[in-house]
Structure 1
Amino acid sequence: PRDDVTNLFRHPDDPELVNPFIQMTLDKDGTEGAPQAGNRKSLDELQKLTDEMQQLNVDIENLPADERQRIDDEIAAVEKRIDQRAGELMQHALVEVFKKQRPGEPPTIDNSKALVRSLFFDPKRYDLTRVGRYKLNARLDADVDPEMRTLANPRFTGQLSGMSDDLVDLIRKLVELPIRIRLPEDSKDFAADSMLTPRDEISGDLDEYEHFGNRRLRTVGELMQEAFRIGLYRMERVVRERMSTEDVDTITPQTIINIRPVVAALKEFFGSSQLSQFMDQTNTLSGLTHRRRLSALGAGGLTRERAPIEVRDVHTTHYGRMCPIETPEGPNIGLQGSLASYATVNEFGFIQTRYRKVVKGKVTDDLEWVDATQEEHKVVAQANAPVGKNGKLEGPVLCRRNGEPLLADPDEVDYMDVSPQQVVSVATSLIPFLEHNDANRALMGANMQRQAVPLMITEAPLVGTGMEARAARDSRDVVVSRTGGTVTKVDAEHIIVEDDQGDLESYELEKFKRSNQGTLIHQKPLVRFGDSVEAGSVLADGSSTDQGELALGKNILVAFMSWEGYNFEDAIIISERLVKDDVLSSIHIEEYEVDARTTKLGAEEITRDIPNRSEESLKDLDERGIVRIGAEVSSGDLLVGKVTPKGETELTAEEKLIRAIFKEKAGEVRDTSLKVPHGEGGKVIDVKVFDRDHGDDLSPGVNQLVRVYVAKRRKIAEGDKLAGRHGNKGVISKIVPEEDMPFLEDGTPVDMILNPLGVPSRMNIGQVLETHLGWAAHHGWHPQDHTVSDDPLERTFIATPVFDGATPEDVDQALIDWQKSHHTPIQLNINEADREGRRCSGKMVLFNGRTGEQYDGKVTVGYMYMLKLLHLVDDKIHARSTGPYSL
């Protein structure tokens, strides 16, 4: 309608801006009089033009009907001329695009159209994917069908007129951008102009590539699909070639289709892709964390050398989606991360987190999955924000919006966190008192838990966070009952549960299996015959769980003090009791492999008949020449006997006859048996034999393959690395006899001595709070009635969730309650008059184990959860007989 003619010149969002796509013309050839898009100097001219047209509108309305008709006819003629001119401009533009893309070929309209169609509008050559169309629609405010994978353009895609045109919308956004962010017209003025323009005003118009709304996950299914597609394209090319050469009468699917390109593409993906990794199976947690790993590296991603610092940094959209703590320390810092505890991935690959919906200040039970784009401009309250009895948020609420903290009225709040720990990953949420640790040390603590070796005797932490049972269950290393019922049979290898309908469910346990890192995978039943179980109950423990809870280390009595300089530079002193009682002993399994091949001189043979070997050295080999299960072996012992033919000079007929009579093999074969490597040994726990004659699938040229598994118990030793959960790591420097260790007033010797200088500069105070609370938990206490007991109380297992757990005041109270609940010579210096949180220091009197004298000062003593890490001295010690050396 003519009333809207002036609006054509205005920008749809801002009346102060020129609409960049109205190239209106006042004269017939369309070359003059059009205001330039984005030029603010033309605003005065535009205002004058619109005023004139407004007056023209009024004048036309006052004309007689026949005069108005004549003007309408003229306008229709002008519009027709404009359409014709647009068609000519489009053809000219197509030819120009063709000249740029194909400079050597003659440009024609048809060739140009075909080129542009193949670039942007051919589904076989151009694929936005569903997520691309989703993001493009969101960015351009378009409403194109989500299933449309090419760019939308009515002329090329045959859409109905009036549908969106992606290219036009895209150019509109690009032309609007300099005006929206107030860039100066003269590029030389940019520095001066940018100083006057507040960055906050334009931040909404600029995209950040580190924003999680612009970064998506390519999950394993999508990566595999891409590899499969590449294989299919290769196969298609082969099929087309064969179809053109094969005889039509004799052609069959088998003759033209060869699936090898597809198989090769999948093998290449699983065998050599940077993202196809050997699973970390050191312990239960490491496998769970590896499966939740996020990486910006790999095919289609970044390279660690060229990754900008902004990508590595923590972004506000990481909250509840990617853990800000757990990341590697080396060159991959910030490029690899871990999914946060409550995060999930939506159909488009964007990471979502879970929030509770808040309606008019009232917290509802409706849970919503929210991605980073949906969270923009929303006001989100913390999980521990105070809520009244009626379910309404109280007072001004501490919230965040777009990553910035603010105090908001309850009615302004949109969402509320579901848990205080949803910001961190599983490994980080296993660190008690995380909020009292420096982030650098928390990072080390989260990473080192993944290196903990499963111990022979597992023990759950006295001071946990409540996530231990959930992590163990979700890792699937524990056996969980699928149905409720009664245990009808249980032994070391099987558990059978009969449900209410009389159906039997059988569970097979893994026994003494080797993990990828050589640690033990082993399951032990927890239930007994006749026990009643519910669906979801834990039936059997894994190698690093205890009663269904994650158990990566041991609760050890530690003292923070120096001891003759042996704990200098984070070194650790331990008691001989930890060695003697196998407190920190672990089982490691090594795999040794040998194969018998066909050589040019003949076939190799696995046999017991080995030349120049004494009967003593063959005592553990069976008649096949393979070591028996249960044999104790040490370095140099035979595991599998094997002989290989060796080339020699031609024998005379007499020598051949003598060889045939006396069966002498010494001259024609050499000993290539599999022996235990130097420094290794243990007990043979399993042997696997594969034979081509029995139908086993072996590599070309291999006739037999034998694998021998040797288990070894490794006791703790000097040089082994130990660590707590707070990044407090160290190497054992000395193992001291139990009687020489410092002891408490009741005669109890401590098991470990740590250097107190390792605490203040590292700022991981969580370890001190854990030590104090661990002391109270190990001996138990009565928190209410303070009944004094002569008998030792049962241990109390404590959960202190991250960001929502025990405070220093709670720890202080626990120590006071412990003192009141026990008859013991051990006295903590308690001052009830002091302020809460400082009434008990937790320090105790210690005595020198060698002289019996009391130490001058009191010492912090308590129970800390310590992990034995995979960095074992037996694997690191190295020696060589030749080569350079330096002092």
Structure 2
Amino acid sequence: MKINQYQSQIYLGWKKFFFNFENLNLYISPFEPPFFLKTRIERQRNRRGRFWKRLSSSLNYNKYSKTSPRPIYPPRRASLGILSVTATQLRGTSVGVGPTHIFFKGFNKTNQNTYLFHRGFAKQLQWVQKGDLLADCSASSKGELALGKNLLAAYMPWEGLNFEDAVLINQKVITQYTSLHIEKYDVEILENEKLTSNLPLRENPEPLLEENGIIKIGSWVQEGDILVGKITSRLSKKQLSRETENLNLNIVQYEQLLYDIVGQDLIKIQENSLRVPSGISGRIIKISICYQKEVSPHIQRGGLPPEVLCPLSMPYIPLAAGGSGSGRRRCGSGRGISSRSSFYSWKKNHNHKRVWWWNLFNQFSNIKFQKFSLNPQFFKKKSKQFIRKSKIVKVVIYIATQRELKVGDKISGRHGNKGILSKIFGNYDMPFLLNGECLDILLNPLGVPSRMNVGQILECILGLTGHIFRTKFQTVCFDEMNGYEASRSLIYSKLLKSANQTKQKWLFSKKTPGKVNIFDGRDGLIFHQSVLFGYAYIMKLIHIVDEKINARSTGSYSLITQQPLRGRAKQGGQRVGEMEVWALQGFGSAYTLQELLTVKSDDLMGRNRLMLTLLKNTPLNFGTPESLRVVLRELQSLCLDLNILY
């Protein structure tokens, strides 16, 4: 199903930006709950006791939808009449409360770089009560936990391609596991740095950048594109004299003399822009800008000052005589508020059932508004009151990327049966059943007995019957307390019932119950042995091959050890440890080991002489590794006089 009905509203200052995810060409289908084993959240919902009591206190203020990806239910002891449901909010009315607005969360980033959002489930003009579902989240379907898909699976080896927990998958399943990820990139702007779209060594400004050097929302970016255009300038004459007034350096004196001769400040500019990292391509969905304190909040928010919208603080409220024990406080007459104006103290009345927090908030805002409205110059815009580019101190950019299922991704069931995707076959090459239905996934049967997670077999068979009857099963794996071979009789009875009702006798074989004969999709021939098949609940894990694959030729070195950096983020190399050295010694590869420990590691002189020896075709003389010099310096700091004898 192509997502085109949901739109995400993204607020940036006073702007309201509507972003349609149809431009992403995102093909993603909502996940579904499993056929087998009801989830924990569903069993808690059925109890309707402690679970609802824990939720209801925060759902009315919509705090619950801000922090966790869970469904939204009506407020406690309230019945709602749904007036309208949009992509961002639900508007309704209730008896005794009045109009109620429940806001949905858009596409927000999680700690695992995935997204959280709410989609409305209740319909317009629908009457809902306590316990009825209002909105689903990104991890639920109809109020049930849904993190994966029910796939038609078979346990069989196939030409060794699913050896050692490898998994074979059908190509038609790829669109069902297409996921959306949100990457976050930030950059800080220092005093000697400036944001601009006119970068050096470029004739024309970047088309995707705005005037302040920040990329436009909704732009499609790829690897290497500029997100924030930033240039760094060296210290000017005044800043240089201020920073180095106590330093007597010849270089500083020469630069000051050059400034005096030319008569102006010579500033060297260097580009230091934020670019899209390698392997990332997507669309800009959100931009957050942090300003300095000198910029007025009235300018940043583009609306009323925050003093008008915030609750009244306690220092502005003098206590009335004798009113400390009554729970009501009054303001003096000299502040533009009548002396009889009053409000409730939150500390003493927050448990009162008839005092709602939004009424208190409105009372506070009205008092604050009356106080500041006495000064008519307060809301008037001052001269030269605008946001300067130099006032921006930090820019945070969010990029939405779409990732399909690829070879190397990790998938898993609900019994710890995880595996790596080894190959993707077309629908016409996969094995098929007697009714012509092709399999979705092929699992290795050798991964079942040694791990002792035989519950996946029970899930597979009961998932088949649940798919046929469109029902769910809730049972304990191999619960023999109900009788001898209770699980076997349960499975056989369900398979026999499904075969009789569908009039497909091949679903239940008396010789091999639960197994059927399947055919090879490449040549149409039948396999020699029967195969266990059914529906298994498969989830896509966060271990994605695009975030792990790495290739490197040369890179930067550490300043202390002069060795190559490590890690994919720093474009580092692969470590040759102690055990790898033993392996090379065992095979007698002395010259390979010498290159790895000297020229390719931390031999400064050898690295410099390497290109010259290759050009002149002369033998290479290896130098001393820098790590040995570091050890000698540490020993010399302990008053041990050790030197290298050449």
Q: Same fold by TM (over 0.5)? A: yes
**Structure-2 residue corresponding to 1:596:** 189
Q: 2:465 matched to 1:776?
A: yes
Q: CA deviation at 1:497?
A: 2.4
Q: Secondary structure at the match of 1:763?
A: coil
* 1:559-638 correspondence runs (5 A): 559-579=154-174, 582-598=175-191, 603-613=192-202, 615=204, 618-638=206-226
Separation (CA, whole Å) in 1 of partners of 2:42 and 2:395? 39
Query: What is the CA distance between 1:799 and its match in structure 2?
Result: 2.8
Judged with a 3 Å threshold, the aligned counterparts in structure 2 of structure 1 residues 702 and 562 are, in CA distance, closer, same or farther, namely farther
For residue 518 of structure 2, what is the aligned residue in structure 1? 846
Secondary structure, aligned partner of 2:208: coil
Give the corresponding residue for 2:541: 869
For residue 521 of structure 2, what is the amino acid of its counterpart?
G
Q: Deviations over 1:588-628 (max 9, x none)?
A: 11110011112xxxx31122122123547x11112221111
- 1:671 aligned residue (261, 271, 280): 271
Q: Name the amino acid aligned to 2:182.
A: I
Residue 799 of structure 1 aligns with which residue? 474
Count of aligned pairs: 394
Q: What is the aligned partner in structure 2 of residue 503 from structure 1?
A: 98
Are the equivalent residues in 2 in contact too, given 1:828–1:840 (CA < 8 A)?
A: no
Displacement, 1:801? Answer: 5.4
701, 716, 720: which one aligns with 2:405: 716
C-alpha deviations, 1:288-342, integer Å up to 9, x for none? xxxxxxxxxxxxxxxxxxxxxxxxxxxxxxxxxxxxxxxxxxxxxxxxxxxxxxx
* Distance (Å, rounded) in 2 between the aligned partners of 1:479 and 1:813: 39
CA offsets per residue over residues 74-113 of structure 1, 9 Å max, x none?
Answer: xxxxxxxxxxxxxxxxxxxxxxxxxxxxxxxxxxxxxxxx
**Correspondences of 1:326-365 after superposition (within 5 Å):** none
SS of the residue corresponding to residue 458 of structure 2 reads helix
Paired position in structure 2 for 1:822: 502
Give the alignment of 1:249-648 within 5 angstroms: 457-470=30-43, 477-482=70-75, 483-501=78-96, 503-579=98-174, 582-598=175-191, 603-613=192-202, 615=204, 618-646=206-234
Which amino acid letter does the alignment assign opposite residue 594 of structure 1? V
Alignment partners' CA distance in 2, 1:538 and 1:476: 14
CA distance in 2, matches of 1:642, 1:711: 23
Q: Which has the higher helix share?
A: 1
| Cα separation, 2, equivalents of 1:752 and 1:476 | 29
* Aligned position for 1:745: 434
CA positional deviation for 1:471 = 6.2
1:727 is aligned to 2:416: yes
Instruction: Give the deviation of 1:456 after TM superposition.
Output: 5.5
2:295 alignment partner in structure 1: 694
Of the three residues 856, 859, 867, the one matched with 2:528 is: 856
Asked whether the 8 Å contact 2:113–2:183 carries over to 1, the reply is: yes
Matched-pair identity in % = 35
Structure 2: runs of 5 or more not aligned: 1-27, 46-50, 56-67, 237-254, 301-389, 555-572, 585-646
1:370-414 superposed Cα distances (whole Å, 9 cap, x missing partner): xxxxxxxxxxxxxxxxxxxxxxxxxxxxxxxxxxxxxxxxxxxxx
Higher relative contact order (CA 8 A, sep 6+): 2
Q: Secondary structure at the match of 1:775?
A: helix
Distance change in 2, residues 1:678/1:702 (3 Å): farther
Deviations 1:744-767 (A, max 9, x none): 111111010000111112221110
Q: Distance in 2 between matches of 1:656 and 1:740?
A: 78
CA contact (8 A) 2:289 2:392 kept: no
Distance 1:614 1:813 in 2: 77
Tell me what 1:22 maps to.
Answer: none
**Paired amino acid for 2:212:** R
> What is the CA-CA distance between 1:702 and the residue it aligns to?
8.7
Contact 1:484 1:500 in 2 (8 A): yes
TM-score, normalised via structure 2 length: 0.57
- C-alpha offsets along residues 523-564 of structure 1, whole Å, 9 cap, x if unaligned? 111111111111132211111111110011111111100111
Paired position in structure 2 for 1:684: 284
1:515 aligned partner, one-letter code: T
CA contact (8 A) 1:816 1:840 kept: no
* RMSD after superposition: 2.8
CA contact (8 A) 1:687 1:709 kept: yes
**TM superposition shift of 1:499:** 1.2
- For normalisation by structure 1, the TM-score amounts to 0.42
Partners of 1:461 and 1:551 within 8 A in 2:
yes
d(CA) in 1 for partners of 2:112 and 2:167?
25
Q: Which runs of 5+ in 1 are unaligned?
A: 1-454, 660-664, 781-794, 832-838
Do 2:39 and 2:144's aligned partners in 1 also have CA atoms closer than 8 Å?
no
Query: 2:569 corresponds to which residue?
Result: none
Are residues 808 and 624 of structure 1, via their aligned partners in 2, closer, same or farther at CA, if it must alter by over 3 Å?
Answer: farther
Larger radius of gyration: 1
Match of 1:489, as an amino acid?
A: S
CA deviation string 1:675-718 (max 9, x = no partner) = 11111121111001111143579xxx995111000011111111
d(CA) in 1 for partners of 2:443 and 2:518? 14
Question: Against the structure 1 CA distance between its residues 471 and 877, is the aligned structure 2 distance closer, same or farther, given a 3 Å change threshold?
Answer: farther
CA contact (8 A) 2:198 2:204 kept: no
The alpha-carbon distance between structure 1 residues 614 and 583, as it changes in their structure 2 partners (threshold 3 A), is: farther
Whichever residue aligns with residue 738 of structure 1, its letter is: N
Deviation at 1:641, TM superposition (A): 1.0
Answer whether contact 1:570 1:758 (CA < 8 A) is retained: yes
- Distance of aligned partners of 1:757 and 1:842 in 2 relative to their CA distance in 1, 3 Å threshold: same
Q: Say if 1:565 and 1:656 are closer, same or farther in 2 by CA, change over 3 A.
A: farther
